[in-house]
């Protein structure tokens, strides 16, 4: 029996809902700021990936300790005093700059999730793990080197698919690459997304990390330790071309 054998099935769908996911993706293409559609896609296609990820976490010393502590990362990621402690050049400093430049907050992302997933705040270990995946999204932007333009988001979710096995990430990454190619055929979106997926497969498994310790590490040293390869295809695309993308339907 696995650690999640008694998991209440009301908390997640047993069957994939591809039509619901495709409809949500269409809405996301029409308005890429409609973050709630991302969570609708993830809800429709997560299947058993979240429960499997939590079980995997328990099988490692580091991940098991994090599961035992069950800290809410969003609380720390939104704490300016906590973020101020990290020295320049560290993962934490890079995240702090990323957050300040864009005005993003972990609570803002959580609020979008609540529009779709009513049990997102439930006190259950697997739901806690799903919140953890939600909250580290922007940290993975920092670690992987992908920015928040349309191509960067497509790449970071492709990386996330490799890390989590959640088909929602696959749909968003692959679908976004298709839409980017429709808009600007000079951008190698498919190659960039494929490289991101490969980088995700090659990297160490990130969901179970001690993120507080990680934030204190120099960014480049952390990337090397975690075997996160550079996003060379993405970086070869001029920034102005990436920023010009609209992802029109």
In a domain, 3, yes or no: no
Nearest-CA neighbor of 146 among 197, 82, 201, 212? 197
Residue 9 has pLDDT above 60, yes or no: no
Identify the pLDDT of residue 30: 85
Identify the pLDDT of residue 168: 95
Nearest-CA neighbor of 152 among 186, 110, 180, 133? 180
What span, in angstroms and rounded, lies between the C-alpha atoms of 205 and 164?
A: 9
Q: Chain-centre distance of CA 196, in angstroms?
A: 12
Q: Can you give the residue range of the structural domain that contains 42?
A: 17-243
pLDDT over 90 percentage in the chain: 78
Average pLDDT of the residues in 183-203? 97
Residue 181 has pLDDT above 70, yes or no: yes
pLDDT for 23-76, tens place per residue? 999 998 888 778 889 989 998 999 999 999 999 999 999 999 999 999 999 999
In a domain, 165, yes or no: yes
In a domain, 6, yes or no: no
Identify the pLDDT of residue 247: 67
pLDDT for 80-121, tens place per residue? 999 999 999 999 999 999 999 988 888 888 888 888 777 888
Judge whether 247 and 179 are in contact, CB under 8 Å: yes
In a domain, 248, yes or no: no
In a domain, 249, yes or no: no
Q: Per the structure, how many domains does the chain have?
A: 1
What does residue 13 show for φ and ψ, rounded to 5 degrees?
-75, 140
In a domain, 108, yes or no: yes
Give the chain's mean pLDDT: 91
* H or E segment to which residue 147 belongs: none
Identify the pLDDT of residue 14: 57
In a domain, 11, yes or no: no
In a domain, 59, yes or no: yes
């Amino acid at each position: 029996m696995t650690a999640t054998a008694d998991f209440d099935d009301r908390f997640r769908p047993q069957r994939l809902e591809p039509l619901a996911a495709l409809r949500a993706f269409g809405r996301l293409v029409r308005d890429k700021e409609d973050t709630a559609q991302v969570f609708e896609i993830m809800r429709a296609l997560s299947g058993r990936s979240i429960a499997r990820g939590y079980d995997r976490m328990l099988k490692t010393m580091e991940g098991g300790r994090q599961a035992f502590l069950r800290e809410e990362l969003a609380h720390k990621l939104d704490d300016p005093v906590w973020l101020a402690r990290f020295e320049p050049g560290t993962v934490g400093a890079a995240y702090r700059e990323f957050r300040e430049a864009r005005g993003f907050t972990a609570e803002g992302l959580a609020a979008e999730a609540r529009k779709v997933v009513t049990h997102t705040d439930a006190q259950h270990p697997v739901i806690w793990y799903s919140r953890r995946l939600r909250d580290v999204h922007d940290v993975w932007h920092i670690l992987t080197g992908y920015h928040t333009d349309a191509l960067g988001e497509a790449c970071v979710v492709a990386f996330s698919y490799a890390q989590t096995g959640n088909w929602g990430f696959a749909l968003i990454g692959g679908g976004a690459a298709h839409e980017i190619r429709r808009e600007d055929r000079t951008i190698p979106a498919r190659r960039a997304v494929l490289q991101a997926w490969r980088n995700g497969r090659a990297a160490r498994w990130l969901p179970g990390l001690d993120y507080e310790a990680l934030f204190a590490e120099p960014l480049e040293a952390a990337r090397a330790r975690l075997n996160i390869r550079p996003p060379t295809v993405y970086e070869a695309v001029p920034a102005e071309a990436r920023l010009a993308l609209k992802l029109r339907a």
